[in-house]
Amino acid sequence: MELAKSAIFLHFCNVLKERAIDIAEAFARITSEATGPRDAAKRVVETLCSSAGALYAFVAKEDGNAHGGLAILSAAGLDAATYRRLEQRAPSTAVVRAFEQKEVTYLLINDEPTLDFLVIQGKSVELIAAPFDINEHQSGCVAAAFDKRKLADRSEAEALVRLAALTVSHVIRIDEIRRDSTDQATEDEVAARLALKEKYDISKIVGNSGAMRQVADQVRQIARSNAAVLLRGERGTGKEMLAYALHYASLRARQEFRKVSCAGMPGSLLEAELFGIESQPLKLGAIEQAKFGTLFIDEIAETTPEIQMRLLRLIRDSRFERVNSTEPIRANLRLIFSTAADLENLAEIGRFSTELLYRINAFTIFVPPLRDRKADILLLSEHFIEKYAREQKRKIARISTPAIDMLAKYHFPGNVRELENVIERAVMVCDQGVIHARHLPATLQTAEETATRPASTLEATVAAFERDIIDDALKSSRGNIAKAARDLGTTERILGYKIKNAGIEPRRYK
């Protein structure tokens, strides 16, 4: 039975005002249009934020395979760093009360120490968490945060959050029935696809800089179109990741994603890789393998004139021929191209097809180099620390301020890829729970800095090392000098003296 016709839905409408009824009807549409639980959760939290006045919202459900047994299906209104903290900490926060009490739970964020990462300065944030049942052994929860001082009607807000929970629950149950009744894909295939979709979700693109926010906005604008896209930027900036994000945000997300790299591949081999070979046995190319899905052609500037003409026909006529065949084959797929080269200059000197450039350049996304988005270095570093600490089974809490300062001063010619390699190495050699400047490679010092920096005295080196340790202790204790002194095995008086001499302000760490 459709949610919009159910007695529960009508009951909610009776307690809602006209504006809120529009929101309730939007939830009803989600039940019929959502492609699955994550899509429903994503649209529900976005509606709560955009139409119901929520500061942020998220959907969680019990999952034995997730960290702490609790998985975040989707969230809106949170930056990437806060989202990651929510994923890590949710099982040990006050949110679990909603699961335990099986009823709507109100939480004042400012009064809940376990939810301190969700505090918004200057606002009295109240989280309304509404649980829902999935089956006998599994439940979930929709939570939305409101500014308590500006919330005109608390009962209406609760009704909307409860209806949001009902919407997600309904879609999850329908999805379980559908999955039980079909064997089109194995459980492993479905899980792999969902994992990739979650991994490359556009909301998880790491970066709060204006340049990366603009890139994310462009991806959202073009994702659901079938138009060809050209990703331009230096090597190592993350063009492949954006290609995945475009695919998994598109209407083709459930279909294949194929990648072909043109760099360093001989023309004849690349031609066969793309278009296939009419032979015995038949060899399908990437175009046919990506049928109904997305084909990502990396480093398009490396292609031969013959391949460029074939690609031009593919874009223009949606047809192609296999190698050794003259029979046209119809193609239905999305094309994404990338390049680090100056295609306009190559076209001017006759090394790249002007018409192909015109065709693929209709929608271009410029991916900025890391040196132009220095504000993202801390977020990216934390992301890679978490990734490689998990892979290497190391306990790394964070990266120190001096180490971040060193990263921020470096120009990173290899862009994000180079930063990732630097952090992977640092995690490997880190002998403590914190990555310090000494764990970073010497190449982070530019030749100019190395030449102009005066030689350090032993006293200055020891002082810098001591300040680094004090800085770490104050961060861990949130500016509590007494606790920091205990952690360092010294007295509060001695530590206070050293803090004063170093010019450190403990209040900054609270």
- CB-CB contact of 241 with 415 (8 Å): no
Q: What is the pLDDT of residues 300-315, one digit of tens each?
A: 999 999 999 999 999 9
Q: What is the pLDDT of residues 323-358, one digit of tens each?
A: 999 999 999 999 999 999 999 999 999 999 999 999
Asked if the model's pLDDT at residue 225 lies above 60, the reply is yes
pLDDT of residue 4: 46
- CB-CB contact of 287 with 254 (8 Å): no
pLDDT of residue 186: 59
Question: For the chain, how many residues are written?
Answer: 510
Identify which has the larger pLDDT, 156 or 320: 320
Distance CA 394, CA 286 (A): 39
In a 13 Å sphere around the CA of 289, the CA atoms on its Cβ side amount to 17
* Domains of the chain listed by start with CATH number: 3-182 (3.30.450.40), 203-366 (3.40.50.300), 371-452 (1.10.8.60), 454-510 (1.10.10.60)
The encoded tokens of residue 157 equal 């807000």
pLDDT of residue 469: 78
Q: Which of 1-15, 350-364, 453-467, 482-496 has the highest mean pLDDT?
A: 350-364
Q: Which of 365-379, 436-450, 490-504 has the highest mean pLDDT?
A: 365-379
Q: How confident is the model at residue 457 (pLDDT cuts 50, 70, 90)?
A: low
Q: Which of 23-32, 38-47, 448-457 has the highest mean pLDDT?
A: 38-47
Strand pairing category for 334-339 and 229-232: parallel
Q: How confident is the model at residue 472 (pLDDT cuts 50, 70, 90)?
A: confident
| Closest C-alpha among 34, 365, 56, 290 to residue 170 | 34
Asked if the model's pLDDT at residue 460 lies above 80, the reply is no
The encoded tokens of residue 10 equal 């009508």
pLDDT of residue 19: 65
Asked if the model's pLDDT at residue 15 lies above 50, the reply is no
Asked if the model's pLDDT at residue 182 lies above 70, the reply is no
Q: Nearest 5°: phi and psi at 165?
A: -65, -40
pLDDT of residue 64: 76
Q: What is the pLDDT of residues 57-73, one digit of tens each?
A: 999 998 877 777 888 99
Asked if the model's pLDDT at residue 447 lies above 60, the reply is no
Asked if the model's pLDDT at residue 364 lies above 90, the reply is yes
Q: What is the pLDDT of residues 408-438, one digit of tens each?
A: 888 899 999 999 999 999 999 988 889 988 8
Give 370's contacts (C-beta < 8 A, 6+ positions apart).
Answer: 236, 237, 376, 377, 380, 412, 415, 416, 418, 419
- Please report, for residues 92, 203, 283, 384, 478, the alpha-carbon distance to residue 71 in angstroms, rounded to integers and kept in the order given: 12, 16, 41, 21, 28
Mean pLDDT of 210-226: 88
Q: How many of the other CB atoms lie within 10 Å of CB of 380?
A: 21
Asked if the model's pLDDT at residue 247 lies above 90, the reply is yes
Task: Give, in degrees to the nearest 5, the angle at Cα 486 between 484 and 490.
Answer: 100
Distance CA 420, CA 356 (A): 34
SS3 annotation, 231-272 = EECCCCCCHHHHHHHHHHCCCCCCCCEEEEECCCCCHHHHHH
Q: Is the bond into 305 cis (omega within 30 degrees of 0)?
A: no
pLDDT of residue 334: 94
Give 284's contacts (C-beta < 8 A, 6+ positions apart).
Answer: 276
- Please report, for residues 81, 211, 405, 435, the alpha-carbon distance to residue 77 in angstroms, rounded to integers and kept in the order given: 12, 19, 29, 30
Q: What is the mean pLDDT of the chain?
A: 85
**Strand intervals (E) in 40-185:** 56-62, 70-76, 105-108, 125-135, 138-147
**Strand intervals (E) in 386-460:** 398-399, 434-435
